[in-house]
């Protein structure tokens, strides 16, 4: 038992020792333990929340949702601006960009943008909590939980080891998509009278699928060309995006094409 525990401690130490020293002091970055605890707490909430709400009335969160969603629009716009401007000022390549581990102002600015992107994924776990409190259990699908729960680990690894480089491309595209997505949710939260203006939900799902295809092309290109960016990370991102393309394609089919056939 002691030997197994020593092995766990040794593995943990390797995780923390081999990271980017610039980002180690930042909130939730140094060790994977806090993120792992958040992940476990999230799964507990997903399992226990609907059971606790079963015999309760839905909570009216209209005001909270309006503030939350438009705040997320603002945060996404800020991150998009930082990724775009910093990559442009740094002459980043959109095909292959190694990580700049220096402490130059632009390198640190990009690292901070990556940290905000990681932290935004933790904030976005609130989406699930709001569904639970509003008793929208049909929204808590495998896709929803899988995507939210795994992104915090993916971007913990990003900020811990690869805070910059071509990781910026994912942040740039995803924050653009989230500006539109949270705008949709914010408008929907204003009330039923907004529904006639929200006919474009199907196109939002299409946009999400397009972003994952862009990530597949981007990482796939770097896997088969010479690029000073870890192939292990490119391989992981490629495989992860394949799962998201499959899951979002199924969601699109079930939500739009299947219903259209039934009609």
Give the residue numbers annotated as catalytic, written as ranges: 147
**Cβ(130)–Cβ(68) below 8 Å:** yes
State residue 253 phi and psi, 5-degree precision. Answer: -65, -50
- Closest of 65, 213, 59 to residue 126, by C-alpha: 65
| Cα separations in angstroms, 233 against 150, 161, 162 | 15, 10, 9
- Give one word for 184, left, alpha or beta, with left for phi > 0 and alpha for psi -120 to 50: alpha
**Cβ(7)–Cβ(140) below 8 Å:** no
- Spatial distance between the Cα atoms of 29 and 79, rounded to a whole number of angstroms: 18
Listed in sequence order, the residues at least 6 apart from 167 whose beta carbon sits closer than 8 Å to its beta carbon are 99, 114, 158
Listed in sequence order, the residues at least 6 apart from 163 whose beta carbon sits closer than 8 Å to its beta carbon are 20, 22, 23, 99, 110, 111, 114, 115
Chain centroid to Cα 123, Å, comes to 10
């Amino acid at each position: 038992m002691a030997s197994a525990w020593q092995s766990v401690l040794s593995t943990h130490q390797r995780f923390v020792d081999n990271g980017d020293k610039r980002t180690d002091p930042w909130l939730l970055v140094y060790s994977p333990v806090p993120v792992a605890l958040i992940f476990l707490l999230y799964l507990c909430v997903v399992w226990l929340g609907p059971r606790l709400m079963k015999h309760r009335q839905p909570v009216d969160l209209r005001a909270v949702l309006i503030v939350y969603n438009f705040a997320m629009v603002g945060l996404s716009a800020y991150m998009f601006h930082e990724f775009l401007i910093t990559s442009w000022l740094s002459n980043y390549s959109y095909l292959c960009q190694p990580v700049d581990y220096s402490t130059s102002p632009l390198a640190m600015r990009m690292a901070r943008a990556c940290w905000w992107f990681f932290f935004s994924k933790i904030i976005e776990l609130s989406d699930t909590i709001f569904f639970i409190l509003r008793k929208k259990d049909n929204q808590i699908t495998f896709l929803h939980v899988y995507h939210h729960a795994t992104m915090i680990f993916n971007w913990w690894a990003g900020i811990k080891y690869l805070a910059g480089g071509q990781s910026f491309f994912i942040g740039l595209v995803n924050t653009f998509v989230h500006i539109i997505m949270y705008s949709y949710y914010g408008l929907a939260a204003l009330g039923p009278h907004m529904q006639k203006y929200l006919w474009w939900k199907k196109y939002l799902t299409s946009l999400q699928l397009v972003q994952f295809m862009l990530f597949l092309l981007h990482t796939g290109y770097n896997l088969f060309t010479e690029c000073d960016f870890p192939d292990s990370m490119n391989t992981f991102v490629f495989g992860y995006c394949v799962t998201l393309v499959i899951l979002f394609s199924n969601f699109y089919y079930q939500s739009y094409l299947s219903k259209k056939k039934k009609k």
